[in-house]
């Protein structure tokens, strides 16, 4: 795993922003297999970034824009993603144990086989999300919208689902 200094991470985010805005210039953020434990990425724009297998344990991603980001196999255990936008993000096999995703937008996100044990997803939007085989045991989903979500083979034992919206799930 590669570690980054605060300055290196800021430069990656700067070049990524240019890539988002102009596509031919800048550089897509490639943080695959990165060690970002406890990183402060509050409000970061990481749209369409590559974060496969990144270690974001206890990272701060409050209000971060992770639309379309590839977080396959990432470790987000204990991370704070309150209000983060994860529309179309791929979190297949990701570790989200005890992560705080309260108010996060996870609509149309792929969480196939993700570990959400004890995660906080209160008032989160999981509409049309793929949660197939996801482990959501003891997760707090109070007030969450799971409208049209695929929960096939998902483990929901002891998950708090009231008053979650489950229509079409």
Quick: pLDDT tens for 59-113: 999 999 999 999 999 999 999 999 999 999 999 999 999 999 999 999 999 999 9
Mean pLDDT, residues 155-162 taken together: 80
pLDDT of residue 137: 87
pLDDT score of 47 more than 80: yes
Domain boundaries, the chain: 2-31, 32-169
**CATH hierarchy code of domain 32-169:** 2.160.20.80
Percent of the chain with pLDDT over 90: 82
pLDDT of residue 165: 67
Whole-number Å distance between alpha carbons of 74 and 115: 11
Collapsing DSSP to helix, strand or coil, 167 comes out as: coil
pTM score, whole prediction: 0.92
- Ranges of beta strands (E only) in 17-142 are 34-35
């Amino acid at each position: 795993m590669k570690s980054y200094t605060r300055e290196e991470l800021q430069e990656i985010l700067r070049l990524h922003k240019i890539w988002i805005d102009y596509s031919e210039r800048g550089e897509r953020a490639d943080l695959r297999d990165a060690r970002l434990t406890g990183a402060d990425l509050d409000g970061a724009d990481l749209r369409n970034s590559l974060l496969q297998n990144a270690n974001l344990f206890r990272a701060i991603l409050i209000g971060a824009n992770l639309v379309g980001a590839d977080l396959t196999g990432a470790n987000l255990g204990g991370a704070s993603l309150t209000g983060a936008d994860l529309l179309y993000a791929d979190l297949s096999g990701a570790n989200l144990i005890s992560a705080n995703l309260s108010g996060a937008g996870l609509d149309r996100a792929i969480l196939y086989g993700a570990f959400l044990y004890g995660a906080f997803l209160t008032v989160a939007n999981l509409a049309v999300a793929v949660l197939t085989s996801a482990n959501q045991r003891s997760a707090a989903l109070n007030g969450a919208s799971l409208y049209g979500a695929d929960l096939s083979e998902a483990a929901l034992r002891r998950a708090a689902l009231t008053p979650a919206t489950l229509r079409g799930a």
